[in-house]
A and B are shown apart, each in its own frame.
Chain A
Amino acid sequence: MSNDQDQQHPLQKERILSRGDRKRAAQRARQQAKRKADSMPAVDAMDGPVKTRVVDAELVSPAPNGGLIGVLREGYLLRLIVRRQLARMYSASLLGLMWSYIQPAIRFTVYYFVFGVLLNFHKNVPNFAIHLFCGIVFVHYFSETFGGGTRSIWMNRALVKKMALPREIFPVSQAIVALIHTFPQLVLLVFFCLVSGWTTDLTGIVSGVLGLLIVVTFAVALALLFSAINVYYRDFQNIVGTINQFMHFMVPMMYPFSRVAGYADTHPVLYQLYMANPVCNAVILLQRFFWQGVNVANGQGDSKAAVFPPHMLERGVITLGACLVLLVVAQRIFTRLENKLPERL
């Protein structure tokens, strides 16, 4: 297929166009051979017959091609990569892992004072601290997976360029690193809920499971997609950083959903756009599980602020379906972009 492009070869242009060029190339080759002839010692072959090695395997492409599922099958390698990622994050850092708690703690404090105390949500929204913290925990998980995942392949370029391993492993391991960071916060959230008194019902449980699935699927799909794109255009890690900052304001955590619900009739387009965000849906569903559980246990379940969108569960199922489709599409695009990754790094 490439015979028609014979003359386009840059090396050919340079070296093997004319006889003179060829002569010079020959000179270079001879000189190099002279110089390097002794660069490696010669070691004679072993005495005795060469064994015949019977390889009990099929002829397959050496390039890894299992996709996300292939990555999950290589648990041991994934564990090592996660450990490597953690080691990199906290090398030369005094507080180490503590940073992933300090940041959300500071964020919580600032938001609590600005929105809770200054803007008075503290009074209007029952259990405002839990409402806020619940949002922060899951948005933190999302933005760490999304942001870190987007940079993951670029950060690990030394490995990607030289070793044959499924590249999906980097965004996936970032999702696991984010989980390791978020898990203690989740424990803290559960603890605060239980201390404040908490109860649940079937709707609550279904909401909680749906919300978790949506946020994980969506974050992994985006991380996968953008990790490959970011290699081509490094602008995306900045764009993703900006999206992550916006995300704090695009979900009901600093303000209750009841504030947004009022716009459904007056600004239907904006309202639908707001509601189309999977992270927003997930946070609403998780608020239903954690925060509303506390409200109900404290007899504040029908407070004016404790409003949830109509058809919340149906919307959640559809969102989850859309996120799964996005995950499949992201994997397809990733596989296509992956072929050119090593040379772009």
Chain B
Amino acid sequence: MNTPVAPPATTSIVVEDVCKTFTLQYHRTLKQIAVATARRLPLSETFQALSDVSFTVEQGESVGLMGLNGSGKSTLLKLINGVMRPEVGTVLTRGRVAGLIATGAGFHPQLTGRENLFLNAAILGMGEAETKRKFDEIVAFANIGRFLDTPVSHYSSGMYSRLGFSIAVHVDADIFLADEVLAVGDRPFKRKCLKKMQEIRAEGTTIFYVSHATASVRSMCDRVLVLEAGRLMYDSKTTPDGSVDGAIRFLHYDDESDDEEQADEELGSEV
């Protein structure tokens, strides 16, 4: 709250001392609560998803966010998107934020693709005229063709996320957030999306990209943040000699390398 120096006009995102705690409730009904109290079990436990995370992002920077599952990446993205508010600290953004939080952005299954398109665009801050102007472009990019007037509950998961991505990417946002939404698409579509994101990036939009794919992060981002158990452990900008590769090395704990075979086996089983 108490910033001694006002951030410069080129700052796009400010995250300052942010903590986010979730309450895990074990017992929901009165009966369960009574039983738990009698046995002196805890009624709820708090879980700190993010602790003391601070960083600032300049307009036009392309930031990759990496970390293991459960390290707080999605929570951080939700805070920047405004879906959640931090209990401690501040999150500030400049301009229009668009992005996709997890798969299938808030679509309503009973509405058609067209209706969902207008609704989603409106939530992302587009007016009626703007949506109509970009309508054809969005539909063409999503490539859902004649399914446009079908309820989205009939869509395949690929079509679902294509439409979601297509809307978000056409918002003309100042900050673009991409969670692992693209993971469901097929390879040509992923390539198309990333190409589009590179286009946005070239226009000077701030990009926040969450991914486990190292090569993709390396080509998309000029800065990487690594979260570990809710803490910001590596920031390639503030770390001396920091780089994208340095962050990836950090994430992989490259000081040890005795499980190559096991990893290969697992890879084989999945292919």
CB distance from B181 to the nearest CB of A (A): 10
Q: Which residues of B contact A91 (CB under 8 A)?
A: 110
Q: Which residues of B contact A266 (CB under 8 A)?
A: none
B68 near A83 (CB under 8 angstroms)? no
A9 near B229 (CB under 8 angstroms)? yes
A59 near B253 (CB under 8 angstroms)? no
A23: nearest residue on chain B (CB-CB)? Answer: B256
Q: Which residues of A contact B161 (CB under 8 A)?
A: none
Q: In the complex where A51-B202, A77-B123 touch, is A40 in contact with B182 (Cβ < 8 A)?
A: yes
Stretch at the interface among A104-112, A157-165, A287-295: A157-165
B94 near A59 (CB under 8 angstroms)? yes
CB distance from A335 to the nearest CB of B (A): 10
Contact with B along A136-174 (1 / 0, CB 8 A): 000000000000000000000011011111000000000
Contact with B along A42-58 (1 / 0, CB 8 A): 11111010111111011
Residue in A1, A27, A42, A60 whose CB lies within 8 Å of B218: A42
CB distance from B34 to the nearest CB of A (A): 15
Q: Which residues of B contact A51 (CB under 8 A)?
A: 202-204
Q: Does B232 contact A (CB under 8 A)?
A: no
A52 near B204 (CB under 8 angstroms)? yes
Stretch at the interface among B101-109, B137-145, B237-245: B101-109
Q: In the complex where A45-B219, A84-B119, A163-B105 touch, is A342 in contact with B78 (Cβ < 8 A)?
A: yes
Q: Which residues of A contact B199 (CB under 8 A)?
A: 46
Within 8 A of A (CB), among B163-216: 174, 182-183, 187, 190-191, 194-195, 197-199, 201-205, 211-216
Q: Does A26 contact B (CB under 8 A)?
A: yes
Within 8 A of A (CB), among B104-129: 105-108, 110-111, 115, 118-120, 122-124, 127-128
A62 near B213 (CB under 8 angstroms)? no
CB distance from A19 to the nearest CB of B (A): 11
CB distance from A236 to the nearest CB of B (A): 14
A59 near B198 (CB under 8 angstroms)? no
Within 8 A of A (CB), among B68-91: 68-71, 78-85, 87-88, 90-91
Q: In the complex where A50-B202, A52-B204, A59-B93 touch, is A80 in contact with B122 (Cβ < 8 A)?
A: yes
Q: In the complex where A32-B68, A55-B94, A57-B94 touch, is A44 in contact with B219 (Cβ < 8 A)?
A: yes
B202: nearest residue on chain A (CB-CB)? Answer: A46
Contact with A along B234-271 (1 / 0, CB 8 A): 00000000000000100111011101001110110010
A165 to B125, CA, bound (A): 10
B174 near A55 (CB under 8 angstroms)? yes
Q: Does B63 contact A (CB under 8 A)?
A: no
Contact with A along B36-68 (1 / 0, CB 8 A): 000000000111100110000001100000001
Q: Does A18 contact B (CB under 8 A)?
A: no
Interface size class of B (residues with CB under 8 A): 35 or more
Q: In the complex where A41-B191, A45-B198 touch, is A2 in contact with B70 (Cβ < 8 A)?
A: no
Q: Does B159 contact A (CB under 8 A)?
A: no
CB distance from A334 to the nearest CB of B (A): 14
A53 near B60 (CB under 8 angstroms)? yes
Residue in B219, B228, B252 whose CB lies within 8 Å of A30: B252
Q: Does A34 contact B (CB under 8 A)?
A: yes
Q: Does A88 contact B (CB under 8 A)?
A: yes
Residue in A16, A52, A59, A87 whose CB lies within 8 Å of B110: A87
Q: Does A81 contact B (CB under 8 A)?
A: yes
Give the interface centre of B14, B87, B174, B214 by most chain A CB atoms within 10 Å: B214
Q: Which residues of B contact A62 (CB under 8 A)?
A: 79-82, 91-93, 97
Q: Does B11 contact A (CB under 8 A)?
A: yes
Q: Does A31 contact B (CB under 8 A)?
A: yes
Q: In the complex where A60-B92, A76-B127 touch, is A33 in contact with B218 (Cβ < 8 A)?
A: no
A80 to B107, CA, bound (A): 13
Residue in A3, A42, A165 whose CB lies within 8 Å of B123: A165
A61 near B90 (CB under 8 angstroms)? yes
A54 to B9, CA, bound (A): 9
Q: Which residues of A contact B106 (CB under 8 A)?
A: 158-159, 161-163
B128: nearest residue on chain A (CB-CB)? Answer: A76
Q: In the complex where A11-B230, A33-B212 touch, is A42 in contact with B259 (Cβ < 8 A)?
A: no
A42 to B263, CA, bound (A): 22
B92 near A26 (CB under 8 angstroms)? no
17 contacts between A and B (CB under 8 A): A45-B202, A46-B198, A46-B201, A52-B59, A59-B7, A59-B93, A61-B85, A62-B92, A76-B127, A76-B128, A84-B115, A87-B115, A88-B108, A163-B106, A163-B124, A164-B82, A339-B85
Among all A-B residue pairs, the 5 with the closest Cβ atoms: A53-B204, A62-B82, A164-B82, A26-B253, A36-B212
A residues touching B (Cβ–Cβ < 8 Å)?
1-3, 5, 8-12, 15-16, 22-23, 25-46, 48, 50-55, 57-64, 76-77, 80-81, 83-84, 87-88, 91, 158-159, 161-165, 339-340, 342-343
A-B contact sample (19 more), CB < 8 A, given A43-B197, A84-B115: A3-B52, A26-B255, A27-B256, A35-B266, A37-B213, A42-B219, A42-B220, A43-B219, A43-B220, A45-B198, A53-B59, A62-B82, A83-B115, A84-B119, A88-B110, A158-B108, A163-B101, A164-B83, A164-B123
